[in-house]
Amino acid sequence: MATANWTLPDHPTLPKGKTVAVVVLDGWGEASPDQYNCIHVAQTPVMDSLKNGAPEKWRLVKAHGTAVGLPSDDDMGNSEVGHNALGAGRIFAQGAKLVDAALASGKIWEDEGFNYIKESFDKGTLHLIGLLSDGGVHSRLDQVQLIVKGASERGAKRIRLHILTDGRDVLDGSSVGFIETIEKDLAQLREQGVDARIASGGGRMYVTMDRYENDWSVVKRGWDAQVLGEAPHKFQNALEAVKTLRAEPKANDQYLPPFVIVDESGKSVGPIVDGDAVVTFNFRADRMVMLAKALEFPDFDKFDRVRVPKIKYAGMLQYDGELKLPSKYLVSPPLIERTSGEYLVKNGVRTFACSETVKFGHVTFFWNGNRSGYFDET
Q: Which residues are catalytic?
A: 79
CA 372 vs. chain centroid, Å, equals 17
Amino acid, res. 39: I
Could you tell me the CA-to-CA distances from 247 to 35, 43, 201, 251 in Å, in that order? 32, 37, 16, 7
Amino acid, res. 5: N
Helices 238-246 and 175-191: crossing angle, nearest 10°? 170
Q: Which helix (H) or strand (E) holds 345?
A: helix 340-346
320-326, Cβ contacts within 8 angstroms, sequence gap of 24 or more: 320/285, 320/289, 320/292, 320/365, 320/370, 320/372, 321/369, 321/370, 321/371, 321/372, 322/371, 322/372, 322/373, 323/372, 325/289, 325/292, 325/293, 325/296, 326/280, 326/292, 326/295, 326/296
Q: What is the C-alpha to C-alpha distance for residues 103 and 241, in angstroms, rounded to an integer? A: 31
